[in-house]
C-alpha cells in the first residue's frame, strides 16, 4: 500500500513539474508608440500575429502611449501598429524570449521621415545605400523606372514651355505663321493644354486675315478646329464659347455662332450682354448689318444697362430710317430711346457726342445733361 502511494506521489510531482514547465514557456512584449509629431499616441492598436503557428493577439496603448502584452507563447511574431484601422508601421520576425518583456517601440515620426526620403528618392532615382538595402528588387526596379519617366517628363515640359513662349513672342511680333508653328509643336507635346489650343486658334484666325482664297479658308478652318479642341477639354469655360462664336461669325457661320453665344450666356449670364455685343461688332465689320442689329438687340435684352449695345443698336435703327418728301428723317421706333439710354448710362462715354448729334438730327433738340441712373445720389447734409 505504501509503495502504491509513493508511485502516485511521484506521478503527481511529475504533473506539477510539467505544469510548471509549461507556465514558464510564456513571454511578453511591451513598448511605446509615438505619433508623427513625436508625442505619445493613445489608443493605437498593437497587433501581434504569430507566424510560426496560428495565433492572434492585440492590445491598445494607454494615455502615455505604452502597451504591454504578457502570457504570449514563445514564438515568432509580426507586430504592427494600427491607427483608425490603418496600418502605420510593422516589424517582422520578432522572436520572443523567456524572462523580461521584449521591448519593441514604434516611432511614427521617424517612419514619416523615412517615407518622405523614400518618396524623394523615388522621384529623383537617387537611392542611398541604406535605402537600396531595404528595397526588394521589384521595388528598386519600379523606382528606377519612375525616375526615368520623371526625367523624360521634365524634358518634355521644358520643350513645351519653350514652344509656348516662342509662340507668345511670335504673337507679339504679329508673326502669325511663326506663332502657328510654335503652338502646333506645343499642342503635340501636350494635347491636354487648353491655353495652347486657344492661342493656336487665335493665331490661325489672324493668319487667315493675311491670306486669300483657299489658303484663307484652310487657316480659318484650322482655327475653328483648335477652338473645338479647347472646348472639348474645358466645356464649361464661357470665354472659349464666346471666342469660338466670334470666329464662326467671321467665317459667316451665323447660326453656329449664335448657338455658341447662347452656351456662353448660359454659363455666364452676367456677361451675356457683352457676348452678344461682341457678336454684333464682328457682324458689323463683316458687313452683315441685319444680323448685327439682331445681336445688339439680344445684348440689350440680356442686359439693358450695357451702354455700348444701346448705342450700336441705335445706329443700326438709324440705318433703317426713312425720309419724307420734305426731308424729315423718320427713324424706327426705339431709335431715340436707344441713344437717350446710352447717354443716361454713360454720359461722358466714347460715343456720347455722336449720340447727342444723332438726337439733335432726329428730334431737333437734345438734353444737355445726363446722369447715370446707377450712380448713387449724393445726400444733402443737414445744417
Stated pTM of the model: 0.52
Rounded Cα distance between 108 and 88, Å, is 7
Indicate the length of the chain as a whole number. Answer: 383
Of 200, 196, 279, 192, nearest in space to 232 by CA: 192
* Residues 260, 282 contacting (CB under 8 angstroms): no
From residue 233, alpha-carbon distances to 226, 229, 230 in Å are 11, 6, 5
Question: What are the mean pLDDT values of the chain's consecutive 10-residue runs (383 residues total)?
Answer: 49 44 72 93 95 92 95 93 91 91 92 69 57 64 67 73 92 95 93 92 94 94 95 93 90 88 89 89 85 92 94 93 82 92 93 92 67 55 46
Strand-pair category, 76-83 with 26-34: unpaired
The whole-number pLDDT of residue 15 equals 43
In terms of phi and psi (left: phi > 0; alpha: psi -120 to 50; beta: otherwise), the region of 259 is alpha
Q: Where are the alpha helices (DSSP H) in the chain?
A: 2-23, 108-124, 129-134, 137-172, 176-189, 194-208, 213-233, 238-250, 254-267, 272-285, 289-302, 307-318, 335-345, 352-363
CA distance 95 to 212: 85
Q: 94, 101 in Cβ contact below 8 A?
A: no
**Selection from 365, 361, 309 nearest residue 338 by Cα:** 309
- Cα dihedral angle (291, 297, 301, 303), rounded to 10 degrees? 100
Three-class SS state of 348 = coil
Cα angle: 292, vertex 290, 339; to 5 degrees? 65
CB contact set of 370 (below 8 Å; sequence gap of 6+): 343, 344, 347
Give how far the C-alpha of residue 121 lies from the chain's centroid of Cα atoms, to the nearest Å: 27
DSSP state of 83: E
Confidence at residue 113, expressed as pLDDT on a 0 to 100 scale: 77
CB-CB neighbours of 221 under 10 Å = 13
How many angstroms separate the CA atoms of 322 and 69, rounded?
Answer: 103
CB-CB contact of 64 with 32 (8 Å): yes
| Predicted local distance difference test score (pLDDT) of residue 16 | 43
Measured CA angle at 136 (ends 134, 138), to 5 deg: 145
All residues at 6 or more sequence positions from 362 whose CB lies less than 8 Å from its CB, including other chains: 318, 321, 329, 331, 335, 336, 339
Q: Which CATH number fits domain 26-112: 2.60.40.1120, 3.50.50.60, 2.60.40.420, 3.40.50.970?
A: 2.60.40.1120
Q: What is the largest CA-CA distance in the chain?
A: 158
Phi, psi angle pair for 69, to nearest 5°: -135, 115
**CATH class of the region 150-234:** mainly alpha
Q: What is the pLDDT of residue 111?
A: 79
pLDDT of residue 240: 92
In whole angstroms, give the CA distance from residue 104 to residue 79. Answer: 9
Which residue shows C-alpha cell 445706329? 315
CA dihedral 133, 138, 140, 143 (to 10 degrees): -150
Q: What ranges do the domains of the chain cover? A: 26-112, 150-234
Contact by Cβ (8 Å): 245, 223: no
* CB neighbourhood size of 80 (10 A): 18
Amino acid at each position: 500500500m505504501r509503495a502504491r502511494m509513493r508511485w502516485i506521489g511521484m506521478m503527481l510531482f511529475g504533473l506539477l513539474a510539467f505544469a510548471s514547465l509549461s507556465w514558464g514557456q510564456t513571454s511578453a512584449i511591451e513598448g511605446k508608440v509615438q505619433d508623427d509629431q513625436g508625442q505619445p499616441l493613445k489608443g493605437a492598436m498593437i497587433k501581434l500575429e504569430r507566424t510560426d503557428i496560428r495565433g492572434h493577439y492585440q492590445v491598445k496603448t494607454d494615455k502615455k502611449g505604452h502597451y504591454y502584452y504578457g502570457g504570449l507563447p514563445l514564438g515568432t511574431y509580426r507586430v504592427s501598429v494600427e491607427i483608425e484601422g490603418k496600418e502605420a508601421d510593422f516589424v517582422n520576425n520578432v522572436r520572443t524570449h523567456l524572462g523580461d518583456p521584449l521591448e519593441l517601440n514604434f516611432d511614427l515620426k521617424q517612419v514619416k521621415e523615412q517615407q518622405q526620403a523614400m518618396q524623394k528618392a523615388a522621384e529623383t532615382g537617387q537611392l542611398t545605400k541604406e535605402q537600396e538595402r531595404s528595397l526588394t528588387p521589384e521595388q528598386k526596379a519600379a523606382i528606377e523606372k519612375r525616375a526615368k519617366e520623371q526625367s523624360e517628363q521634365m524634358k518634355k515640359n521644358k520643350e513645351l514651355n519653350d514652344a509656348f513662349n516662342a509662340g507668345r513672342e511670335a504673337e507679339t511680333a504679329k508673326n502669325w505663321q511663326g506663332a502657328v508653328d510654335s503652338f502646333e509643336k506645343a499642342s503635340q507635346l501636350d494635347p491636354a493644354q487648353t491655353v495652347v489650343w486657344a492661342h493656336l486658334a487665335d493665331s490661325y484666325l489672324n493668319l487667315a486675315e493675311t491670306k486669300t482664297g483657299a489658303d484663307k479658308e484652310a487657316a480659318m478652318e484650322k482655327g475653328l478646329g483648335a477652338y473645338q479642341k479647347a472646348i472639348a477639354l474645358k466645356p464649361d469655360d464661357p470665354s472659349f464659347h464666346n471666342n469660338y462664336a466670334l470666329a464662326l461669325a467671321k467665317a459667316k457661320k451665323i447660326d453656329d455662332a449664335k448657338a455658341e453665344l447662347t452656351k456662353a450666356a448660359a454659363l455666364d449670364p452676367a456677361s451675356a450682354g457683352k457676348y452678344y455685343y461682341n457678336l454684333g461688332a464682328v457682324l458689323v465689320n463683316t458687313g452683315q448689318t441685319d444680323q448685327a442689329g439682331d445681336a445688339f438687340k439680344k445684348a440689350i435684352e440680356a442686359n439693358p444697362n450695357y451702354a455700348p449695345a444701346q448705342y450700336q443698336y441705335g445706329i443700326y435703327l438709324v440705318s433703317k430710317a426713312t425720309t419724307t418728301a420734305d426731308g424729315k428723317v423718320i427713324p424706327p421706333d426705339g431709335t431715340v430711346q436707344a441713344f437717350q439710354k446710352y447717354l443716361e448710362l454713360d454720359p461722358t462715354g466714347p460715343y456720347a457726342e455722336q449720340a447727342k448729334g444723332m438726337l439733335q438730327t432726329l428730334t431737333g433738340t437734345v438734353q444737355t445733361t445726363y446722369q447715370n441712373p446707377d450712380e448713387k445720389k449724393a445726400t444733402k447734409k443737414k445744417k
